[in-house]
Amino acid sequence: MSTVPSKTVETFENPRPEIDYTIRIRIPEFTCLCPKTGQPDFAELTLEYIPEGCCVELKSLKLYVWSFRDEGAFHEAVTNRILSDLVAATAPRFMRLRADFNVRGGIYTSVVVEHRASGWQPAERVELSF
């Protein structure tokens, strides 16, 4: 596999497609450029998803995220684009992407976007207590 930025997200077969389970991936070093100033924007991405037929391969995800380093993008646009690309690659039952951007001019930005497969309903939440 290459070690240069790439817009390709590779996948592998879901090892347990018969059950709903959550995969949570923390990406603390996302960078892109401010489209107005060209200065770098830094964010922590949190990806959560319930896979259907396939899962995101992590090295390809790293290279995909890296591909935004030299691109100008508004926070809202880049967060939605990443979610759209990941949904296109994996067709999950559910996917949520949260982008927490670092301070810029005294302002922090968080963008949260979600996808639900048509007809998919989450299982009822279970609360366990002592």
Can you tell me the distance from the alpha carbon of 127 to that of 10, in angstroms, rounded to the nearest whole number? Answer: 35
Select which of 20, 32, 34, 70 is catalytic.
34
DSSP 15: S
Active-site residue flag, 55: no
Distance of CA 53 to the CA centre of its chain: 17
> Could you say which of 20, 32, 41, 85 is catalytic?
41
Please write down the HEC assignment for all residues of 27-66: EEEEEEECCCCCCEEEEEEEEEEECCCEEECHHHHHHHHH
Coil, strand, or helix at residue 78? helix
Catalytic (active site) residue 20:
no
Active site residues: 34, 41
